[in-house]
Amino acid sequence: MLTSTKELLEAAQKDSYAIGAFNLYNLEGAKAVVDAAEAENSPAIIQILPHVLDYGGSPLIAVFLEAANSAKVPMSVHLDHCDDDTMIKTVLDSGIQSVLADGSTLPFQENLAFTREMTELAHTKGATVEAEVGRISGTEDGMTVAEKEAKMTDPEEAKEFVAEAGVDFLAVTIGNVHGKYHGEPKLDFDRLAKIRQQLEIPLVLHGASGLPANMIQQSIDLGVCKFNVNSEVRKRYLQFWREYGQTESKRDLLDCQKEVTSAMQEVIAEKMRLFGSAGKA
């Protein structure tokens, strides 16, 4: 059933678990999330990235919204990492429940102005906004400690930003990275604790793929209510098709679509159990 992202995250915050937000590309991904969520009795969030939306357009939004609405458990649809106000307006008009208005590449005041404008717009449409303060890297390679710390979320800036922009949840940068971690992940939990002391709204952690269970749980204990997941689900999808391409199988394509959906579902269900959302729908 289609549900407000804010409602999902506030329930998670109240009961100390987190919800998986899965970046998807097609119908198989949507079915995998719905099937996993129903099997695990877990809430879930379907996410779409701007470049995927450029490719799939309004038909893909419709698929994701219908998938979430047809589920037997609460789900929402979220636009991830978007700095394009026109695209944000379009998806809000389509009925998407929340957006990440991402001005994190901008100077603080410009980020604030952009995010405030998008938040005011979203709220008029009954939708909610995630913001990002700090800059999440795509890789750890070639960065000094000072450079990495400079990208991290400053607790006092986060407090000011949330108060001024009126956003509903905040993505924090504490050493997490998009994609693959090169070496053992190192998260600044002292920084996260200070951010939590400054803010009451749900916190979000991107780059959950590859984080060990103890780091996931510690993040939840310190207020993270949403984890973004992409790499591991995408990897399973691509692995299936690579293996299929090396065979001379004459199986019907629909059978393959069902199998790849099942393969992704396994990864997604594992994340739901890891995040503590299984059984919470």
Tens of pLDDT, residues 47-94 = 999 999 999 999 999 999 999 999 999 999 999 999 999 999 999 999
Calculate what percentage of the chain has a pLDDT beyond 90: 80
When pLDDT is averaged across residues 188-195 and rounded to a whole number, the result is: 96
**Choosing from 80, 102, 154, 168, which is the catalytic residue?**
80
**Given this model, what pLDDT does residue 83 score?**
96
Model confidence at 10: pLDDT above 60: yes
**Given this model, what pLDDT does residue 178 score?**
58
Which has more confidence, 142 or 279?
279
Q: Tell me: the pLDDT tens digits for 25-52?
A: 999 999 999 999 999 999 999 999 999 9
Model confidence at 113: pLDDT above 70: yes
| Nearest one of 165, 180, 154 to 100, comparing CA atoms | 165
Verify whether residue 102 is a known catalytic residue.
Answer: no
Q: Which CATH superfamily, name and number, covers 5-234+263-275? A: Aldolase class I (3.20.20.70)
* Global pTM value: 0.93
Q: Find the range with the poorest average confidence among 108-112, 177-181, 219-223.
A: 177-181
List CB contacts of 106: < 8 A, sequence separation 6 or more.
114
Chain-wide mean pLDDT for the chain? 91
**Given this model, what pLDDT does residue 154 score?**
94
Q: Tell me: the pLDDT tens digits for 147-161?
A: 455 589 999 999 999
**Given this model, what pLDDT does residue 198 score?**
97
Domain ranges of the chain: 5-234+263-275
List CB contacts of 73: < 8 A, sequence separation 6 or more.
1, 37, 38, 41, 42, 43, 44, 281
When pLDDT is averaged across residues 226-236 and rounded to a whole number, the result is: 95
Q: Tell me: the pLDDT tens digits for 124-176?
A: 999 999 999 986 655 433 444 444 555 899 999 999 999 999 999 999 999 88
The letter for the amino acid at 177 is V
**Given this model, what pLDDT does residue 189 score?**
96
